[in-house]
C-alpha cells in the first residue's frame, strides 16, 4: 500500500482558529469554482526554490505553490532554510528560539521527523521550521563532515513517501544553506523578477548548479522558471518576460505572477494568499502556476 494514502499529519492542526476557518472558506471557494484534485506524482518530488538575488519572491512562491498543491489533494512539506523564517511565519508555524528547527537537523543531527509540524493553513500541509539559530549555521557547517550533504542525508533518512512534494525555501545567498538545498533537491525552481536586473547574477546560480550536478547531485535539474512581480502596465515587464522565455524556453511556466498587495499582506496574518484571499489575482496566478507544475508529470501520476 502507498503510505501516502494513509498519512495524516500529527499533531492535527486546530480547527477552531481564524486561520483554520479561513482555510475552510478558501476550500469552499475552490469547490464552488469546480476545481478538482490534481494528479499526484508517482514518487515524491523534492523541489528547491532558489535565487541568490533578494526580493524576487522565493518564499512567497514556496508557500503559495505549496498551499495551492495542498488545496488540490497533494500532501506537501515545506522545508524552511531561511534564518528569517518567513516561510514558517506565512504557514502559521511557531519558530521562536525554543522550537526544534532545521538548525538542529543540520547541525545536531536531529531526525527530520522530530521537527515537522502540521500547518494550520491546510490539512495536507506541513512545515519544517527555521529559527534565527540558522543564521549561525553557515559558520558551524564549515567544520562539519560532508557539510554540503547534511540536508540530503536527513531527507534520505526520512520516509519522504509520506509527502507528494517537498519544497525547500532558500535564503537569498549562495552559501552553505543554499548549497545544502541544491544537493538535497531533485528539481530547481527559480523565481525571476520582471524587472531590469532580473537576469543579473542568474549566471552565477546556473554555474553553481552545474558544479553541484557535476560533483554532488547528478539528479538536480532546473525544471521550472517562474516570472514574478509582473506589472502588465509597463513595457519593461513584457520585455523581461520575453527575454527570459527566449532563453529558457519550455522551462519557463506560461503563468506569470502579478504584483499584488494581497500577496504581500497574507504573511502578516500567518497565512498564504491561497487562504487569505483565494479570489485575488495573486492567489489565482499561484494556483495556475501550481497546476502547471503538477500536470507536467501527469503521465507519471499515481
Of 150 and 10, the one with more pLDDT: 150
The pLDDT mean for the chain works out to 87
The reported pTM is 0.88
Could you report the per-residue pLDDT of 218-245, keeping only the tens digit for each? Answer: 999 999 999 999 988 888 888 889 988 9
Cell of 223: 525544471
Query: How confident is residue 268, by pLDDT bands cut at 50, 70 and 90?
Result: confident
Residue 296: the pLDDT is 83
- 61 within 8 A of 257, measured Cβ to Cβ: yes
Contacts of 188 (CB under 8 A, 6+ apart): 47, 48, 50, 182, 209, 220, 221, 222, 223, 224
Q: Is the pLDDT of residue 4 over 70?
A: no
Residue 266 vs residues 27, 143, 276: alpha-carbon distances, Å:
16, 39, 6
Could you report the per-residue pLDDT of 110-159, keeping only the tens digit for each? Answer: 999 999 999 998 989 999 999 999 999 989 999 998 999 999 999 999 99
Cα 87 from Cα 64, distance rounded (Å): 10
Query: How confident is residue 203, by pLDDT bands cut at 50, 70 and 90?
Result: confident
Residue 9: the pLDDT is 45
Strand partners, 225: 190, 252
Cα 217 from Cα 168, distance rounded (Å): 16
Amino acid at each position: 500500500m502507498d503510505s501516502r494514502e494513509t498519512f495524516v499529519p500529527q499533531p492535527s492542526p486546530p480547527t477552531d482558529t481564524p486561520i483554520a476557518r479561513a482555510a475552510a472558506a478558501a476550500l469552499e471557494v475552490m469547490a464552488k469554482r469546480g476545481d478538482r484534485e490534481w494528479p499526484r506524482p508517482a514518487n515524491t518530488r523534492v523541489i528547491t526554490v532558489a535565487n541568490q538575488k533578494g526580493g524576487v519572491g522565493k518564499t512567497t512562491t514556496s508557500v503559495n505553490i505549496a498551499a495551492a498543491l495542498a488545496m488540490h489533494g497533494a500532501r506537501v512539506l515545506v522545508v524552511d532554510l531561511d534564518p528569517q523564517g518567513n516561510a514558517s511565519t506565512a504557514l502559521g508555524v511557531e519558530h521562536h528560539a525554543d522550537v526544534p528547527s532545521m538548525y538542529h537537523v543540520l547541525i545536531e543531527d536531529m531526525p527530520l521527523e522530530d521537527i515537522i509540524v502540521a500547518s494550520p493553513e491546510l490539512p495536507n500541509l506541513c512545515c519544517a521550521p527555521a529559527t534565527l539559530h540558522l543564521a549561525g549555521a553557515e559558520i558551524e557547517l564549515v567544520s562539519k563532515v560532508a557539510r554540503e550533504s547534511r540536508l540530503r542525508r536527513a531527507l534520505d533518512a526520512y520516509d519522504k513517501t509520506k509527502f507528494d512534494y517537498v519544497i525547500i525555501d532558500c535564503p537569498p545567498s549562495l552559501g552553505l544553506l543554499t548549497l545544502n538545498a541544491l544537493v538535497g533537491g531533485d528539481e530547481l525552481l527559480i523565481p525571476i523578477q520582471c524587472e531590469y536586473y532580473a537576469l543579473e547574477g542568474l549566471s552565477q546560480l546556473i554555474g553553481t548548479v552545474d558544479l553541484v550536478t557535476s560533483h554532488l547531485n547528478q539528479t538536480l535539474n532546473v525544471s521550472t522558471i517562474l516570472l514574478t512581480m509582473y506589472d502588465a502596465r509597463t513595457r519593461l515587464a513584457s520585455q523581461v518576460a520575453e527575454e527570459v522565455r527566449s532563453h529558457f524556453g519550455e522551462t519557463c511556466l506560461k503563468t506569470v505572477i502579478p504584483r499584488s498587495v494581497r500577496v504581500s499582506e497574507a504573511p502578516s496574518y500567518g497565512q498564504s494568499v491561497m487562504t487569505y484571499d483565494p479570489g485575488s489575482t495573486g492567489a489565482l496566478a499561484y494556483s495556475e502556476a501550481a497546476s502547471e507544475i503538477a500536470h507536467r508529470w501527469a503521465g507519471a501520476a499515481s
